[in-house]
């Protein structure tokens, strides 16, 4: 098969319509008819090229439905993608997510080609801290282990003792068996963890630009506008938002909660595409969609994925002097007991919480 890169008009022909009919049926009501005619030729072309390249496509829960349901082989939250990346036997991994996720895939698959369709797909949270910041914190708190959320660069992971995700943060903190940890970089996730463990947690004031936008007033408004709706919130939201929610958990936790409880109506206080992707799976649940788009996640598109497979760009590399230490922090996380789907819901009254750290100016 040719990996031709010349721009060919991709048309919604009867053959393409037939090849994508089952997917079209699954996404009815989620992806508008007019849009589908644009997406379907790309879906069909990507599926063919993916097989020829012996590639696997990983997509985060915040990817749009035509990517998440249309071309991805493996979907999930950061933890699921990290685990699956570690097990992959494909020659090529295409990460439909942001840059730190592609770095994680590369760290766990150093001999494979890892591609990200858009190099500009970054993350405000990952950008809130550098390796030099972590070294300064270690000087300030000698001997205190550093637990780092996976939403960080490889450079920051390399300075850390262990990584965690929003799905396993409490287990990871407690697995260390120490009285105090430095938790980086998400302040709100760190506060949430601190409220659910006896371990003292030193925080950093990093935030996700998507989740920090939600307020407790928004939650009150949602409840007024959509009576009876269950409110599910991601722990990257502020403590006030989490206190006002009915359920708090990672994106995997939210999915499991919806699957288990089948609420008639639900508000997902997280990135927009999460609701779209679940709406295609749970037809009996009404998803209210307060829209908070992650501009970084939305840089990944079907044309970009096709181009990545055609050109094998952009390849993600991690310098050797960083990779070994960063991989060790990830592997320590993966060795911790499999994550529960959600964080415990009842706060521990004994939690102590120092003031959040700031990057020295």
* Sites of contact with ligand SF4 (CB under 6 A): 62, 98, 123-125, 151, 208-210, 271, 294, 296-297
Minimum distance between the CB of residue 209 and ligand SF4, rounded to whole angstroms?
5
Question: What order do you get walking across the sheet with 74-76 strand by strand?
Answer: 74-76, 55-60, 92-96, 113-115
* Cβ closest to ligand SF4, residue 295 vs residue 324: 295
* Cβ closest to ligand SF4, residue 98 vs residue 108: 98
Minimum distance between the CB of residue 267 and ligand SF4, rounded to whole angstroms?
17
* Cβ closest to ligand SF4, residue 157 vs residue 296: 296
* Cβ closest to ligand SF4, residue 63 vs residue 109: 63
Minimum distance between the CB of residue 295 and ligand SF4, rounded to whole angstroms?
8
- Establish how many alpha carbons lie within 13 A of residue 27's alpha carbon, considering only the half-sphere containing its beta carbon: 26
Strand partners, 55: 92
Is the C-alpha dihedral spanning 231, 234, 237, 242 positive or negative?
positive
* Cβ closest to ligand SF4, residue 223 vs residue 299: 299
Minimum distance between the CB of residue 20 and ligand SF4, rounded to whole angstroms?
28
* Cβ closest to ligand SF4, residue 107 vs residue 199: 107
Minimum distance between the CB of residue 163 and ligand SF4, rounded to whole angstroms?
14
* Cβ closest to ligand SF4, residue 73 vs residue 209: 209
């Amino acid at each position: 098969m040719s990996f031709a890169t010349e721009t060919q008009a991709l048309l919604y022909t009867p053959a393409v319509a037939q090849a994508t009919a089952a997917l079209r049926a699954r996404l009815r009501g989620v992806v508008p008819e007019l849009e589908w005619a644009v997406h379907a030729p790309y879906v069909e072309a990507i599926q063919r090229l993916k097989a020829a390249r012996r590639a696997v496509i990983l997509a985060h829960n915040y990817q749009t439905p035509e990517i998440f349901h249309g071309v991805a082989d493996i979907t999930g939250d950061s933890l699921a993608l990290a685990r699956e990346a570690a097990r992959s036997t494909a020659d090529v991994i295409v990460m439909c997510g942001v840059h730190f996720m592609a770095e994680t895939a590369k760290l766990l698959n150093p001999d494979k080609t890892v591609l990200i369709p858009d190099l500009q797909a970054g993350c405000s949270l990952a950008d809130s801290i550098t390796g030099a910041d972590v070294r300064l914190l270690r000087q300030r708190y000698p001997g205190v282990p550093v637990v780092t959320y996976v939403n960080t660069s490889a450079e920051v992971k390399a300075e850390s003792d262990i990584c965690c995700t929003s799905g396993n943060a409490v287990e990871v903190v407690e697995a260390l068996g120490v009285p105090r940890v430095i938790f980086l970089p998400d302040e709100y996730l760190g506060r949430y963890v601190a409220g659910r463990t006896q371990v003292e947690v030193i925080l950093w004031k990093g935030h996700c630009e998507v989740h920090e936008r939600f307020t407790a007033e928004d939650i009150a408004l949602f409840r007024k506008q959509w009576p009876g709706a269950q409110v599910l919130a991601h722990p990257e939201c502020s403590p006030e938002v989490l206190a006002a929610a009915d359920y708090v958990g990672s994106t995997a936790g939210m999915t499991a909660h919806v699957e288990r409880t089948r609420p008639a109506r639900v508000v997902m206080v997280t990135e927009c595409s999460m609701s779209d992707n679940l709406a295609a799976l749970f037809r009996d649940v009404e998803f209210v969609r307060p829209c908070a788009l992650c501009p970084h996640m939305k840089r990944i598109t079907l044309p970009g994925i096709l181009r990545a497979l055609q050109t094998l760009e952009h390849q993600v590399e991690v310098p050797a002097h960083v990779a070994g230490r960063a991989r060790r922090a990830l592997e320590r996380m993966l060795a911790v007991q499999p994550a529960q789907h959600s964080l415990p819901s009842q706060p521990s009254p004994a939690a102590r919480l120092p003031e959040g750290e700031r990057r020295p100016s």
